[in-house]
Amino acid sequence: MIKHKRAVGGALALAVAAGVVVVGDNVPRRDARATASAGDDARLRELLRRLTTVDGGPGALIEMRNRRGNSTVLTDGVADVESREPVRGDSRFRIGSMTKTFVATVMLQLVGEGRIVLDAPVERYLPGVVRGNGNDGRKITVRQLLQHTSGLPDVLAYLDLREIFENPLAHHDPRDLLDLALAHPPTFKPGKGWRYSSTGYLLAGMIIERVTGRTYGDEIRRRIIKPLHLRQTYVPGESPVIPGPNPRGYVRPGEGAPLMDITAINPSVAGAGGEMISSGTDVNRFMGALVRGRLLRPAQLRQMMKTRPTGNADGRAYGLGLESRPLPCGGLYWGHTGDVLGFETAAGATVRGGQATVMVNLGPRGTDAQSADMKAAVETALCAGRS
């Protein structure tokens, strides 16, 4: 989540089941079958190498699965700039704003159960919470929170990264984060524009808790993580630990400054907008299940996939916690990106069954070139996965 430089993008990776190929620096090949053609494989290796050399990331990983169910993991670079340990194919990492897709899925499940109404005002569920400086929960709907059309100021614009760098383990209460955002006027009237705002997802997390009596993290675990057997996915709350094998997460605190290790951070600074941890395997499994209708009823999945343009020249459009992009080989793919302290991620999935997820352990001040190469890697993998 911190700091999400652009809208969202990509998504995915389905499980590394039988037929996985793992290839990277000092990572052994575990199977002779490969998902991509030789040309696609060479292109993906080139993109990973760019991410860890030209673009400046310490390490990179992509996990992909084609529609026949064959999976491949490719890695490049290092997980730790001091030990020079290579990136592992089974790495866990912070997924930042991909958390929003999990939150939106729970919200839409509650819509399907008749417990939340998409076009009801936020005031119905959180009376008096959204008030001040022209921000009015009586005029903003639940749908607008999830689609970034509320006009609410983005809390990410007002966080002081220097304070976070100095005290990464500090607790951040969601109400304090909300107050920080609402101290500023809206960017437009509700429904009259599109602008990415993590503030809406802080409110979505609060609505889930108000409606269910359980935290949004508990509902994600109960409704998504357990049913899909996502054994490498966590809603960490206050814990600064990334369970299991993981690359170190780095930031560049200033122009030309050396990398700073910020792996251990209190994720409450991101909250429902970006605190989760996962892996390529689990992200792919989740995204594949979502776009193929395993998590939502048809009516709610249609609502999630009902997009509006974001104003980006590349054709991106945003639904409810899910973004579509055109594929270079034709058609659309669905996904999200994540940009959180220490990591940048992108994932994508097609309805026909391909998935791909890419991670670089440097964020949120990665370059535009890093983001572009991550997007290209997801799209190359998804187009290759059609074969």
Is residue 4 within 8 Å of residue 96, measured between CB atoms? yes
Active site annotation includes 97:
yes
Alpha helices, H only, the chain: 38-52, 99-112, 122-125, 142-147, 161-166, 174-182, 199-212, 216-220, 280-291, 298-304, 368-384
Alpha helices, H only, 292-348: 298-304
Length of the chain: 387
Distance between CA atoms of residues 219 and 169, nearest Å = 25
Long-range contacts of 128-137 (CB under 8 A, 24+ apart): 129/178, 129/203, 129/206, 130/182, 130/203, 131/182, 132/182, 132/183, 133/182, 133/183, 133/184, 133/185, 133/186, 134/185, 134/186, 135/182, 135/185, 135/186
Q: Which one of 71, 83, 91, 97 is the catalytic residue?
A: 97
> Residue 308's beta-bridge partner residues?
318
Distance between CA atoms of residues 3 and 312, nearest Å = 18
Distinct helix (H) and strand (E) counts, the chain: 11, 13
Is residue 22 within 8 Å of residue 30, measured between CB atoms? yes
- Residue tagged 């999935």 (tokens): 349
Distance of alpha carbon 365 from its chain centroid, rounded?
16
Nearest C-alpha neighbor of 220 from the set 171, 278, 279, 133: 278
Residues noted as catalytic: 97
